[in-house]
Amino acid sequence: MVRGASILAIVVGAIGCGPRAVPAKVTPAGDEITLYRDRAVIKQRIELEVPVAKSATVNVSVAAGVSVEDVVVLDRGELTISEVRGRSAPALLAGPTELTFVVSAPHAGRFAVELGYITDRLTWDAAYTMTTTAARTNVSLRGAIAVHNTTGVALVSRAYVVDSELGPARGRIAEQLGSALAGTVSSTTPLAVPRALGRVELGAGETRIELLPGEPPRALRSVLVFDPVGVKLDHGGSAPIRDSNLGVQGAASTRVTESFEIPRKTASSEGLPGGPVRLLQRNTDGSLAVLGEARLFDVATRVAEVDTVAIGTADGVTGRRERREITIDDDDKRLVEEFVLTIKNTRKVPVEVVLREHLYRGQNWTLAYQTAREPTKEGPQQISLRTTVPASSEGKVLYVVVYTWP
């Protein structure tokens, strides 16, 4: 497909059969909208009544911003399309574009045509809430996606959302194909998969669609999290950044957070788009209190098995991140870094800590060595390591990461 926008309504008029126009039948059951982060891909099926076995004109109103070149005929069936003309509405009106298809049919009757195009007039945001009780043993997860329709037309269609921009999503598909056919290097993090939203009616403005209807409660457990770097340094390229000061210049955070950990359910979580989440507590009097905020299902945590929501600073527990070694070997195209994470626990009881590290130099990395338990890849550049620190003691975790490049 090329650039495009969404179809609005269809009207068919026959040439050579008198002035009376014959309306087309729109069959939205065959329609499909896939919402990416930056654009939406539209497929729409239209049934046309052609009263004579000759030519007819098909007048199509499509969304603002569409030109003749934006529309692709995916399946013309038995029809022959000899000409397409277009006329855009004035920019100030932001109205639909009128396209005219000149078609001919082998006989009178009904014919199906499928069109495809892309629009940037459908945008979306996702957000989530988690609600627990004073007991804090389980949590109810709810989510919604708000679709903003500025196409100037109403759309009724099956819809999907993909948490990726359209270009990178196509690039990853080509990358995986190249890896399979030619043995080229491919990221090991899965592609963003479409999440079905069901059949939706997108009128002008905002339409909210529930993402997790009827989702049963999930377990909730307390845990401490040490995440001194965050995602701000992440570089998504295949060749690592070789600046020796990256990630160690300046004082790293020593903060350890009191957090809650919520396991993901693979079946119901697959394809959910990333967005902010608020953890709420419903008190015995029915009131709600905000415990903490975080983000869920972002690319950085696409393959994570759990999510964590921070609710405050952990008293009596601090962390320290120290790089012990860096080796850059341009001949063998390897960069090796060794880090030590130290947790100091002044509490009178042992503490379990999740150590979250970001392998920010690039996406071609291998965890060569580590001394923690349960090393887990959570995304293309994020891992978690777990350790238990005894009361009034210190615990150290060492890991070595190796970056390579073509």
CATH of the domain at 381: 2.60.40.290
Do 30 and 175 lie in a common domain?
yes
Q: Which residue in the block uniquely carries the two structure tokens 């068919």? A: 12
| Coil vs helix vs strand at 160 | strand
pLDDT for 1 equals 37
Neighbours of 394 (CB within 10 A): 13
pLDDT for 242 equals 93
The answer to whether position 240 is within a domain reads yes
How many distinct structural domains can be found in the chain? 2
Looking at per-residue pLDDT, the higher value among 91 and 233 belongs to 233
DSSP state of 2: -
Strand order in the sheet with 373-379: 365-370, 393-404, 334-345, 306-329, 255-263, 221-226, 351-358, 382-389, 373-379
Mean pLDDT of 157-179: 72
Question: Which of 189, 217, 245 marks a domain boundary?
Answer: 217
Do 107 and 23 lie in a common domain?
yes
pLDDT higher than 90, residue 378 = yes
Do 163 and 253 lie in a common domain?
no
The answer to whether position 270 is within a domain reads no
The answer to whether position 7 is within a domain reads yes
The answer to whether position 132 is within a domain reads no
Do 11 and 86 lie in a common domain?
yes
Do 81 and 163 lie in a common domain?
yes
Output helix, strand, coil percentages for the chain, rounded to the nearest 5. Answer: 5, 55, 40
How much is the pTM?
0.82
Measuring CA to CA, which residue among 168, 128, 164 is closest to residue 146? 128
The answer to whether position 179 is within a domain reads yes
Band (255; pLDDT cuts 50, 70, 90): very high
* 40/162 Cα distance (integer angstroms): 10
The answer to whether position 130 is within a domain reads no
Looking at per-residue pLDDT, the higher value among 180 and 332 belongs to 332
The answer to whether position 285 is within a domain reads no
Looking at per-residue pLDDT, the higher value among 134 and 5 belongs to 134
Do 212 and 308 lie in a common domain?
no
Do 224 and 365 lie in a common domain?
yes
Residue 12: beta bridge partners? 22, 58
pLDDT higher than 70, residue 2 = no
Do 211 and 319 lie in a common domain?
no
Do 191 and 95 lie in a common domain?
yes
Report the amino acid identity of residue 379.
G
Do 244 and 175 lie in a common domain?
no
Do 351 and 363 lie in a common domain?
yes
Do 230 and 168 lie in a common domain?
no
Band (76; pLDDT cuts 50, 70, 90): confident
Write out the residue range of the structural domain in which residue 393 sits.
220-264+304-404
pLDDT for 183 equals 52
Looking at per-residue pLDDT, the higher value among 38 and 184 belongs to 38
The answer to whether position 324 is within a domain reads yes
What the block records as the tokens of 318 is 């601090």
Question: What's the distance, Cα to Cα, between the start and end of the chain in Å?
Answer: 32
